[in-house]
């Protein structure tokens, strides 16, 4: 009887130690995310398993080009994944299939060649000026994405974290960061 109680106590200690390690990491540092849908193709496919870094964006502001996971502004129980295109204080103009950014340096056509295949254009016509703590996000599959062109700006407080690793499928294992513009 004593040996079975000792065994149960040892198992309980292992479970408690594991929970003390895993729960804070999962809650405050990293969390998994499964891609659902086609809005981020070709960068991410339906069913991809991603690791989201929650800590970095608590210490700094998101950068243009980073892929973020966030609470959908019109239903915070849903999670979306999109690429940050417009930053606070900028004006984003989608026109003629291109994305134009107006900031304190003037106007620039956004060069998205590092993550979009050639020939991909951005449909729609919209001009939006972002306030403090607002972002303009787009899916990489511009023809099949519900994004800022449809539902408006993304508030900073809705951003959960940024994609850092695609862990599955294993053959497509990759690390992600913001592209250079």
What's the half-sphere exposure (Cβ side, CA atoms, 13 Å) at 134? Answer: 15
Closest CA to 132 of 108, 153, 148, 146: 153
Residues in contact with 35: Cβ distance below 8 Å, sequence separation at least 6, in sequence order: 44, 45, 46, 47, 48, 49, 50, 81
Residue 113 falls in the annotated catalytic set: no
Residue 82 falls in the annotated catalytic set: yes
Active-site hit among 43, 82, 145, 148: 82
Active-site hit among 3, 4, 13, 39: 39
Q: Judging by DSSP bridges, how do beta strands 49-53 and 159-168 pair with one another?
A: antiparallel
Closest CA to 130 of 170, 91, 101: 91
- Give the helix/strand (H/E) hosting 50: strand 49-53
Q: Judging by DSSP bridges, how do beta strands 67-71 and 91-95 pair with one another?
A: unpaired
Which residues are part of the catalytic machinery? 39, 82
């Amino acid at each position: 009887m004593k040996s079975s109680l000792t065994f149960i106590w040892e198992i309980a200690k292992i479970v408690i130690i594991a929970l003390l390690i895993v729960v804070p990491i999962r809650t405050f540092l990293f969390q998994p995310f499964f891609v659902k849908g086609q809005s981020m193709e070709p960068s991410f496919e339906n069913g991809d398993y991603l690791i989201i870094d929650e800590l970095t964006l608590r210490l700094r502001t998101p950068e243009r080009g980073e892929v973020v996971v966030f609470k959908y502004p019109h239903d915070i129980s849903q999670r979306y994944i999109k690429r940050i295109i417009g930053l606070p204080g900028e004006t984003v103009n989608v026109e003629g299939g291109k994305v134009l950014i107006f900031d304190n340096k003037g106007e620039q056509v956004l060069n998205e060649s590092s993550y979009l295949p050639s020939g991909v254009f951005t449909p729609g016509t919209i001009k939006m000026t972002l306030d403090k703590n607002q972002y303009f996000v787009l899916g990489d599959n511009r023809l099949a994405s519900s994004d800022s062109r449809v539902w408006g700006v993304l508030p900073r407080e809705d951003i959960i974290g940024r994609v850092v690793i695609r862990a599955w499928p294993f053959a497509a294992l990759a690390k992600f960061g913001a592209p250079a513009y």
